[in-house]
Structure 1
């Protein structure tokens, strides 16, 4: 019997314009920081994580903030989600709240996800309190990470490592559920076969009496 292994997942990165979505993704994949991007352009990246058994390939969609028409399709497509807002931009927080409600409505409350509060090096111009980010994460039943994509790689890496762990757990859970379902079907078929076999024996016995 073959054993299924976790070899990849699809990740959607959501966030308002200028919050650092693309910088977050590029920092994660390359460790480099590049701050100037086209804010209205959607990008699809492939990132390979080396593994002793099978490499893990992540498909990462960096969504365009103004592409409202495809938000529902992105939610249906993704296996895991990154919700980024800037602590210096109140509207970016409100935008993520709207997307959070969409995710819960379409996919349920327990999808693999992380909340990322970016630009934490700019506390003097903060517009979103830490407690508000914590509340958002609690509503999604997921962890929250305070990062500065511009200042370092470690916070970004830690956040994405947590998401990959969640994705692996979800994969194992789905495999277990599939195995239980398959086992139940096998038992049902066996029961039906035994029941029919007993009826045939009963009829055969009646015919000979």
Structure 2
């Protein structure tokens, strides 16, 4: 098995990042798990397209005071789930600030998926699915609504992100192979001798 794919969950405090991770990694739900202090991570094996991939899933604190700590972790990530709470308009409005942080600190080709969490609370919805889709389209990333409580679409969110990461890694690998082949061809060509 290759190195673990590093995935970061970011978003405002109380949007359910830790609950999403617990549902995905342990298939449990703890609604009152408290706020994450700093960062935490878990390893999980996840099957995508008939192949098992090892994921290192990072949980981050959503509070403003931890943003500088969190931003240092962006550099080493392969992908990010940007999470908001569908019952909290402010958490949705803050998504663009989180994406600015990603674009400022993360590799240029980092993959993102926009996640509207707490879809089980549809009766308390403040952010429409259409608004989520429109923002994802604007950010040029996939969109999914999840429920950490029921498990709805949690695995699918990670699958979508994993596929995007693998596609980028594959494209990078092909580019590297082409560069190596090009260098080899140049090295194999006979050198022209200088006159005089």
TM-score normalised according to structure 1 size: 0.81
Q: 1:160 aligns with which of 154, 158, 161?
A: 158
User: 1:74 maps to what in 2?
Assistant: 73
Change (3 A) 1:117 1:50: closer
Which digits, 9 at most, give the CA deviation of each residue in 1:173-208, with x for residues without a partner? 1111111111122223233xx12xx417x76xxxxx
Partner of 1:199: 193
- Match of residue 171 from structure 2: 173
Match of 2:35 among 39, 42, 54: 39
For the 8 Å contact 2:77–2:110, the answer to whether it is kept is no
Give the unaligned 5+ runs of structure 2: none
Q: Work out whether residues 90 and 128 of structure 1, in 8 Å CA contact, stay in contact via their aligned partners in 2.
A: yes
**Pair 1:150–1:53, CA change in 2 (3 A):** closer
Greater helix share, 1 or 2?
1
Q: Deviations over 1:92-141 (max 9, x none)?
A: 11222111123234447753221110112223322223222112211332
Q: How many residues align?
A: 193
Shift of the 144–54 alpha-carbon distance from structure 1 to 2, 3 Å rule, reads closer
CA contact (8 A) 1:14 1:63 kept: yes
CA RMSD of aligned residues (A): 2.5
Structure 1 residues 98 and 62 mapped into 2: Cα distance closer, same or farther (>3 Å)? Answer: same
Measured in 1, the distance between the counterparts of 2:8 and 2:49 equals 26
Query: Which of 4, 8, 17 is 1:12 aligned to?
Result: 8
Q: Which runs of 5+ in 1 are unaligned?
A: 204-209
The alignment partner of 1:145 has SS state of strand
* 1:144 alignment partner in structure 2: 143
TM-score by length of 2: 0.86
Paired with 2:168 and 2:32, the residues of 1 have a C-alpha distance of 35
Task: Determine if contact 2:115/2:145 at 8 Å carries over to the other structure.
Answer: yes
Runs of 4+ in 1 over 4 A off after TM superposition: 50-55, 105-110
Q: Which of structures 1 and 2 has the bigger CA Rg?
A: 1
Distance (whole Å) between structure 1 residues aligned to residue 180 and residue 28 of structure 2: 46
